[in-house]
Amino acid sequence: MHSRRLVFISFILIFFLGCKPAIIESNVRSGYTKKLDKVYVLMTTTDSNGESFFYKLDPELSSKLTTCSVKNMIHVYKNLGLDEKKTIANELKEFDPNFILTIQLTSRRFTIFSNGFSHSRPAPSGATFELILQEADKEDIVWKAMLETSGSSYYTAFSSGGTLGKPEATVAEIINCLHKDGLLTVPPTTSR
């Protein structure tokens, strides 16, 4: 009995203390000097869980981009939507951005939890997102990043009770990376 409790406590400590909520790796085109000033952000997913996470990410990312003097419009696009492409085309025409940032959920990770009896269930424990930045009038990619989320930044977005978590850590990683790569002129005011 004592060893089960010790294993359980160890697992909880590793799960909550051993994970950084978001990690991002990026690459910017060599010699690229333009700064983000007006960006259309397209968040794409194929499932409702990813869509829920993006709807929580949307206002936080928009707020931080605005703080960095970047005009923005964000659209969450579930790849299964039938009329989405027309909506996106209309928004792009109306907003007339200089840049398009696509954030796509590429994979999710689950952890199997057991109650010590015979019932086990998978719970979301992380995800991978691909971020691609292009100038709106060109197809060339000027910046690309892979974002790994884990722990509270991803899991709380799907926690029971219908309460979505606040993905500030994920947004902070994105904003800080854009700034580090020279794509933002105003330093981010996000905290880690």
Q: What is the mean pLDDT of the chain?
A: 76
Counting residues of the chain whose pLDDT is more than 90, the rounded percentage is 39
CATH number at residue 52: 3.40.50
Structural domain for 175, as ranges = 20-180
Residue 125 lies in a domain: yes
Type and span of the H or E element at 172: helix 168-180
Prediction pTM value: 0.76
Residue 15 lies in a domain: no
**Which range, of 24-38, 98-112, 164-178, averages the lowest pLDDT?**
164-178
Site of tokens 């939890």: 113
The predicted-structure confidence for 110-138, as pLDDT tens digits, reads as follows 666 666 655 566 666 677 889 999 999 99
